[in-house]
Structure 1
């Protein structure tokens, strides 16, 4: 899958805009305005790449081979300065 730079930007901005201590999850993405622009697979793929790049503090829960949910708690130092 190709990494979408617009999705990266929107995801980082969404996490940054949440109040301190509130997690962004797969299930709360319905309330974030940009999610209609990207498939769930694209958002999950972007989340996984941002974890690898150390841009977000997050956990991904798997159910077999599928992502069941993810929990993004905050941006890291690198995420704030990207």
Structure 2
């Protein structure tokens, strides 16, 4: 199954003759209500992992959006 890359976050880093795929969090800046830039570091790591693992089966686009919009200062019910 191919990666859906719903947010256009997949990028390639070239180092010498090698290339590495990574997923940019700044791709979520255009998402309405995004708090990705202000999330604590540990949650940004989790968010990048969700972007990397998005497959529309186990990790869905809605999962990424939920974390990217999460206001950590608001109490959770």
Do the two structures share a fold, i.e. TM-score over 0.5?
A: no
Structure with greater proportional helix content? 1
Using CA pairs under 8 Å that are at least 6 residues apart, name the structure with larger relative contact order, 1 or 2. 1
TM-score (normalised: structure 2):
0.29
Structure with greater proportional strand content? 1
Of the two, which has the highest radius of gyration? 2
